[in-house]
A and B are shown apart, each in its own frame.
Chain A
């Protein structure tokens, strides 16, 4: 009998009866071959690898992260709630010391879901990792430090949006350069909000980057930063679309490379994100991740079509990778020397205006966000969000959020803003999100037609 060196909790939920549309990359078939491979390798018989059944998440854990317009019930379907519940279970298993590490190998994915949710973008509706992290913080308190390392080929723009001004979270995203791939963001200049400057780290990699390049980034950038920042928990958002066979991206990563990355990172929790080479990559990458988490030998793991050329990066790639790494390292090392007013201005607020496209649901959102520059806390926030298109028609909402460890002033101002915004009559709904008090309000409350 094989024995794991570290125990692994596996929450495997392939959602064999859920798809976005029958021909969509997010379809029933996506994890079919992965299931076959995991079962055939006998991974669930390994002593120390335990499989768990996910539960269905309620509204509250989702509200801790998201403002779902008009309501959680309207935006978040049962499959999403299971993916959320599975991710939260992964965290619980680790927090309760039932296992050394956990892998939420499930779909639908989540890392393109922003704080405000009008619909689905980048195949994602709600953000599994973010909800999981907020769940951990609810259990352990606001002082825990969590690092999220997102290795999906796409920039984790949703996760970045949610934690952009959150000093408790370090968010590192490795991805194919946004100039060449959806969602078109994730540049080295995106470094975090006024209260968490430097905690958002983007590592855009040139198309063609393979094992050599990605492992170089891990060794020379990610690992040293983690060593310095000392997170209590490391989460890997393990998208697998960096694979050389992925149809949606142009990277050159292999299953063996993924296993090596996992061995280096030693994440506490892994959550599956994208990855659409469902036959050529996912079965092998996921087996590799599970073996690596369990501390078992991955050296015989190889794709059937693997040849040494698969791994070879184009010649021009490595110098670019090294450049990015040295630039991001320099930024990291000098992050405390940067004056806040040089980046965020001398005003009392940090303001950003954005247009957000929901490609999956064909919605355009215009967002105006204002974060209070506060010396005593990370600052309360006001968001005006206007969305139109898809099947939602047109909607305009206002949102007030109070951060963890908010100062008294910020909380008072936020509460006053929530009251005032309701009286303006401009907004279809006004939301209030207070993580510390675990209080989530909405006026007027959305009722499903026919409900009481």
Chain B
């Protein structure tokens, strides 16, 4: 099916139409109207549809910034959290910055209920939250990913009392990963923006009925994948930071390189973003996305932003040229006031942009007294840029290679993630990427369409689905928190193979339930197995398995 990808960015809304064969049929760029983002979507969509001849049905992929903006700007429904922390770190020390009402009850690390909730206490906490102005609620328990029963019971108490919260988010639905404070923040934000996303979904549905040619809508996520519209109303928090993800997806879609390990360098005016592809897949952040100062459990792509770009400030020190992190404005060649890295490239004839004589004049002015000629300054700027970029790339890899690991084998034989090629995007990429790649000793590629690549990224994004499966055969339980599943299992029947199979089958069934037919390849991405030994006897086994649909992007030409 043809796909329209729309990415509502800070400045522009990018849209692209891709054919079944992955050919870009149309691209549209319109300025983003921040007061009416829906209008921006509509405009882009209508322009694309207008350019699109024939009765082919289309799927719409949307990268929405509404929840992201709401979080950053402190908007959304007033929300509060009812937390079930049990003993541990003092909840006050987390300093959440939003109302958290703590109640009794405790689930331990094995998922055993050590003490129950007190319904009256839960109700009075929820009432208090309501009286304090909350209209959306999150209920989050420590270790609820191991046992959701306290969260479910608390929700029932609140609902039965007739408190009309517009949304009740339960912590365990959002992620199977550990991290009680992150779960609290994620659930809180989710509850806060759910209303916004639901409103947005309603408008999109209306848009679909107006344009019957749109056969389906998928929403972009922070991990570069997509999810259904209905799902996005349950877990709107997953839509955050989908813009940067769309940009990386675009590079996956457009790249011709066949190497499994690449580094993707997106050079903009002010900043350069570095992302890592290892084993053909983008590397994700260890903990989860950070947004507006909130640490969440949202699976998000790992990118490092450095203050270096085509419009970076150029300063001359005794030690040489220093670039950024400030942006001085547009290049002198385009009428700016000061010489920038872009001007150095234009003056040296490495790039064609604006008026070369203006770039040279600005460089002459800057070189005065410090450099013998504008040429030597321009050369020094280019070199400084390339050096800074290469150092940053190296640091990114060093950081990733030093991520703590917990097995001897991972220390002794760490996976090779080092890049085999550099993929460059962004206007200045053509100048700096080949030079940086040479210094790194790697082949390189500059992607086409870098001007509107996010629309292509949105269009090329594929669904992502991942589940955490926790099996504890001593307790005869299998738990999949994201599905709210707690299932009795027979210990004798459950070995590692069985656990693996269950993880794959559940992920497949879940994906198919979401209407994803093409989801053939389910892979196991994390796996742990432990013997549970008590009194010198093995009494059970614990398996922690994470399965996902193999992520990736459609190839685009």
Contact = CB atoms under 8 A, between A and B. Distances in A.
Interface of A: 1-3, 12-18, 22-23, 27-29, 32-33, 35-37, 39-45, 51-54, 56, 78-79, 82, 247, 279, 283-284, 287, 291, 296-297, 299-306
A40 B143 contact: yes
Interface residues of B, number: 48
23 contacts: A1-B293, A2-B93, A3-B95, A16-B407, A17-B407, A23-B537, A27-B531, A29-B533, A32-B530, A32-B542, A37-B109, A42-B180, A52-B402, A79-B408, A283-B109, A291-B89, A296-B89, A300-B87, A300-B89, A303-B87, A304-B106, A304-B108, A305-B114
B192 interface: no
A42 B402 CA distance: 20
A17 B528 CA distance: 10
Nearest to A77: B408
Given A51-B404, A56-B411, A299 B90 contact: yes
A40 B295 CA distance: 13
A160 to B, nearest CB: 29
B520 interface: no
Contacts of B536: 23
A173 to B, nearest CB: 28
Nearest to A56: B411
B287 interface: yes
A27 B533 contact: yes
Given A39-B178, A43-B89, A302-B87, A12 B109 contact: no
4 A-B pairs with least C-beta separation: A39-B178, A304-B114, A42-B181, A302-B87
Given A29-B533, A32-B542, A53-B403, A15 B408 contact: yes
Interface of B: 85-95, 106, 108-110, 114-115, 142-143, 177-182, 287, 293, 295, 402-409, 411-412, 528, 530-533, 535-538, 542
A248 to B, nearest CB: 11
B84 to A, nearest CB: 13
A14 B403 CA distance: 15
Nearest to A53: B404
Contacts of A304: 86-87, 106, 108, 114-115
Given A39-B178, A40-B180, A42-B180, 6 more contacts: A22-B533, A23-B536, A37-B109, A41-B89, A42-B94, A52-B402
Interface-centre pick from A12, A42, A287 (highest chain B CB count, 10 A): A42
B31 to A, nearest CB: 36
Nearest to A15: B408
B531 A53 contact: no
A29 B93 contact: no
Contacts of A3: 95
Contacts of B95: 1-3
A52 B89 contact: no
Contacts of B114: 304-305
Contacts of A301: 87-89
A17 B109 contact: no
Contacts of A40: 109, 142-143, 178-180
A65 B109 CA distance: 39
Nearest to A28: B530
A16 to B, nearest CB: 5
B408 A22 contact: no
Contacts of A41: 88-89, 180-181
A54 B411 contact: yes
Nearest to B532: A29
A247 B535 contact: yes
